[in-house]
Chains A and B, each alone.
Chain A
Amino acid sequence: METLFAICIGFLTSCGVFLMLRGRTFPVVMGLTMLSYAVNLFIFSSGRLNLKGAVVLGTSESYADPLPQALVLTAIVIGFAMTAFLVILAIRARADLGNDHVDGSMPDARPAKKERQK
């Protein structure tokens, strides 16, 4: 279970980082979302992974740490709000700047033209 969990987190993180390095705002938003999923899973694992652990005392033989679960809930809510804000901001930037590049202008296409002339 640990291996699968670790692979999941690693895969999500690498996808997130790759997408965040893209030039347009939409992939960047997707990348941040994936990264926050990976982070949430990672926080969850900081309370150790176990099956059928209860969080209320006196109800079970094995217990799970309730604090990471509370932390994850907070992180999810905050991440969700931030992503919503970023989506709106990206739409606003598309309207204000006339394109959806994170730098506000598409990269210069001139070098490519020069190569063609050669």
Chain B
Amino acid sequence: MNHLVVIPILLPMLTALLIMLPPVHYSPWRRRLVSMVSTVLLLLVSVTLLFQILADGMTFYAVGNWVPPFGIIMVADLVSAIMLCLTAFLAVGAVFYGSAGEDERGSFFHPLFQFQLMGINGAFLTGDLFNLFVFFEVLLIASYALLIHAGGKNKTKAAVHYVVLNLTGSAIFLLALAVLYGSLGTLNIADMALKVADLPPDNQILVKVGGLMLLIVFGLKAAILPLQFWLPATYSSASAPVAALFAVMTKIGVYALLRVFTTIFGEQAGPLAGLATNLMWVFGLATLFLGALGVLASKDFRKLVANLVLVSVGSLVAMVAFQNTAANAAILYYTVHSTLICGALFLLADLIAIQRGKAGDRLVAARRVSQPVLLGGLFVFAAISVAGLPPFSGFIGKLMLLQAAVGSDKQFWLWSFLLLCSLMVLVGLSRAGSTLFWRVSGMQKADERALPLQVFAVFWLLSASILMMVFAGPLTELGFAGATQLGDVIQTIRTILPASGVSL
């Protein structure tokens, strides 16, 4: 059995425990060093896993050696490996930024950060819906504590809403799982896909209810339209490295939607095929538009970036509705791009806010930042990338999204919404940039300078945009390979449940 599959879950967990032990815990630099080294190791492990899956195809790990569909399994296919690499890459940036001093403003930053990584990795790797719930809770309870890291009124207020909403979401998740277990008799994703195909007609409506309840839950995590009101307040009040890591949390919702609604309710699901695609399509586009409006209306820069997260989630969820290989490949590429750039923007917003003194990140005239060339240059680069102007990764990502819709009846709506919203994002960003860097009052410059670790973290995340441009060819191929593997449900079932006797 391939033990590499569980290492992305075990490594952060053991690191978190190690950091809390006395020899490490009592020295800030030892805590930071252990956390940073472990996160870099996590990135290496994830990349190794990705290459292994590329070479050998998808693999799974049966915990306790219970043969599926019994017991819990971890499934590593290309999609989950790509998401693991994305998480680790983002985490390296966030943990380096946090180690510059942000981590000392509250206690237990590094252990909580590692526990959250464990939850995120687990959610990407699991092949069992109940286990997905458990890992959701692991990452959520770490995120509750991280959200109020460093304290303050805004954080407490945002945290109350966030925790209550997510607890309600968990209750609905459990109801959905109980309905699905009661009607399908299994919670293993591959086994569910098998059982849905030949479902007795009496149970169809129950499974449909369960599936739609899952849509509510994942919609809440991904923040799509009627359930997105928590996101701007939460993300903009969290401290910078935490907000950067949170950039991947909405994408977990998108990933879960992709997993459930292509594997279980995909085209082989008989009468339930394509469940909820219409809902995802309409609400995805609506979220996209609302996010773009939010970008225009934001009064501070962090809110603006939080709305950019909504823009990316909206376009991704609308793409999930297509349920074809080109759309799924575009989703994979665009997810990686948007997560890393939004994470970088959260870090950059913090750097800018520190140097602007009292005005912080509010979009008003204030004193000059002390490093206008560095911060301004990074801002322009990130803004071009996130708005989707050539030549950086945003352009390629948007192009893939647009191309995936060519020839379908949804092309008109997707193109008009996506392009209009890109224009709105561009206007919003140029307004923000000119206010932050050019509308300066005569007051003297601040003394604060960005620390090397902080600058490195922003560079690290933004370098992804350049790498994704330079290696666009192999990366799109990887995206297509992942999407093909995701869409090939029969192969998945044959790998995980060889005894089921499914043939091509």
Contact = CB atoms under 8 A, between A and B. Distances in A.
A67 interface: yes
Interface stretch (B49-57, B155-163, B222-230): B155-163
B227 to A, nearest CB: 15
Contact of A102 (B141, B153, B161, B178): B161
Given A75-B174, A82-B141, A102 B160 contact: yes
A35 B163 CA distance: 15
Interface residues of A, number: 35
Contact of B168 (A35, A47, A48, A90): A35
A97 to B, nearest CB: 6
A39 B157 contact: no
A25 B163 contact: no
A39 B161 CA distance: 21
Given A32-B167, A82-B167, A89-B144, A43 B177 contact: yes
B296 interface: no
Contact of A35 (B144, B145, B153, B171): B171
Contacts of A79: 170
A85 B160 CA distance: 11
Interface string A53-82: 000000000000001100100110011011
Given A68-B178, A89-B144, A39 B160 contact: no
Given A20-B168, A71-B181, A102-B164, A39 B174 contact: yes
A85 B141 contact: yes
B160 A89 contact: yes
A55 to B, nearest CB: 14
A43 B167 contact: no
B179 interface: yes
A97 B134 contact: no
B169 to A, nearest CB: 11
B270 interface: no
21 contacts: A20-B168, A35-B168, A35-B171, A39-B171, A40-B174, A42-B175, A43-B174, A45-B178, A48-B182, A68-B181, A75-B174, A78-B134, A78-B170, A82-B137, A89-B148, A89-B160, A89-B163, A90-B160, A93-B156, A96-B153, A102-B164
Given A68-B181, A89-B163, 4 more contacts: A20-B168, A71-B181, A86-B167, A97-B153
